[in-house]
Amino acid sequence: MPQRLMLLDTASLYFRAFFGVPDSIRRADGTPVNAVRGLLDMIARLTSDYGATHLVACWDDDWRPQWRVDLIPTYKSHRVAEALVGAPDVEVVPDALQAQVPMIRQVLRLAGIAVVGAASHEADDVIGSYASQAKLPVDVVTGDRDLFQVVDDARHVRVIYTAKGMKNLEIVTDAVVVGKYRVLPEQYADYATLRGDASDGLPGVAGIGEKTAASLLATYGTLDALLAAAIDPGSGLSVPVRSKLAASADYLAVAPVVVNVARGLALPTLEEAGARLRPVVGDPRLELERLATDWNLGGSVKRLLDALELRQ
């Protein structure tokens, strides 16, 4: 079987599972297990359909890193449930989902699925680093279009985009990014910086929307080149655009650091992380099968075990 690495934007997937599977599915003590069931089914299907031989469930060790907040205080601010000092802020997460996160960690461990996070970094940064350093073809599974910046046909890195649901998965390649946004994947972070993103609390440049951002990057290539043109009287850049960029100069000085995912984190190698998918045997299998009954996980555990049997 040709080797292929799959990187999961894990929180993106378990949030989708939580909202996509009825929360009436509960274990005997009343705790919902819909996100656990849904995530296991997603992993079983994704690894089988896309031929993954290695899998990393990338984790948000810090979903809102302070160094990003220091640069742009509004970064994800609307999603903060409780601000903490000296520890990651508490994210707004439904109680019924929060109760399932430890269960998700437990079943992933028993299934031998690598879970990797990085201190003071988001799962996106873990994904960006593995995708940039991998020697294997890579599939990134996410519902977050910010990760379109890692797409790279030349390095066989693509995104399996879940925004339209598991029945309507979209494989995002260079051509798809260009077709959707009229920018190359390597321009996507600059495009997002200019356009802004309300879902992440990024204001963007007032007066520059998607079409204008794409047009400017088509002409100048990069944000740095655009900003150089903005201070060059002979560049031909229009006065209105110069004014808009000048008004957002403070934002533009820091936003690229926030928007660009990390590429060079020192992470465990795939071997060190245990990313190679293998059949589950022995005590871990027995424990998973027990939890399938005790936690009312239905056929989700069996489907995952069957999928891993095929990864030999």
Q: Give me the average pLDDT of each 10-residue run along the chain (312 residues).
A: 95 97 95 98 97 98 96 95 86 96 98 98 98 97 97 98 96 98 98 95 96 98 98 94 97 98 98 98 98 96 95 66
Listed in sequence order, the residues at least 6 apart from 291 whose beta carbon sits closer than 8 Å to its beta carbon are 106, 107, 110, 297, 301
Q: What angle do CA 66, 70, 75 make, to 5 degrees?
A: 75
pTM of the model: 0.96
Rounded distance between C-alpha atoms, residue 197 and residue 255, angstroms: 11
Rounded distance between C-alpha atoms, residue 299 and residue 301, angstroms: 6
**Mind listing the pLDDT tens digit for each residue in 63-111?**
999 999 999 999 999 999 988 888 888 999 999 999 999 999 999 999 9
Cα 202–chain centre separation: 17
